[in-house]
């Protein structure tokens, strides 16, 4: 057992002799014997993550996120022809991003107002 910088315990397994192994070239990348490190706590976290991602609820969340994340940025990039930041300096970059975001919000507000007036 060996501890790492995060306080987790990991088990280290080393092969005694890899010299006669026919799979040594595929199994290891150095001239030393093969070493494997196992961390049970990290392995259980990985299993939980995979189970969550492969569940129906996880698939729906991933699908919803992919739709939502690209929506506004896709509109800004393709429909508004905003491809890159042209200013230099952190204050100027923030100002440019804020102006683009304000323009996007005003566009959405105008469209919503237009839909409400058409419905009435």
For residue 117, being part of any structural domain is answered with: yes
pLDDT for residue 77: 73
For residue 70, being part of any structural domain is answered with: no
Average pLDDT, the chain: 83
For residue 57, being part of any structural domain is answered with: no
Domain count, the chain: 2
For residue 46, being part of any structural domain is answered with: no
Containing domain of residue 14, as a range?
A: 2-41
What whole-number distance in Å separates Cα of residue 2 and Cα of residue 37? 9
For residue 9, being part of any structural domain is answered with: yes
For residue 119, being part of any structural domain is answered with: yes
Beta bridge partners of 2: 10
pLDDT for residue 79: 72
Question: pLDDT for 69-94, tens place per residue?
Answer: 567 777 777 777 777 778 889 999 89
pLDDT for residue 19: 83
pTM for the model stands at: 0.41
For residue 8, being part of any structural domain is answered with: yes
């Amino acid at each position: 057992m060996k501890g790492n910088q995060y306080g987790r315990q990991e088990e280290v397994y080393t092969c005694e002799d890899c010299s006669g192994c026919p799979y040594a070239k595929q199994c290891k990348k150095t001239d030393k014997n093969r070493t494997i490190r196992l961390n049970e706590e990290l392995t259980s976290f990985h299993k939980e993550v995979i189970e969550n991602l492969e569940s129906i609820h996880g698939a729906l969340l991933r699908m919803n996120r992919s739709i939502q994340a690209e929506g506004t940025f896709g509109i800004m990039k393709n429909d508004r022809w905003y491809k890159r930041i042209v200013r230099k300096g952190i204050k100027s970059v923030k100002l440019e991003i804020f102006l683009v975001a304000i323009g996007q919000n005003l566009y959405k507000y105008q469209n919503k107002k237009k839909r409400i007036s058409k419905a009435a």
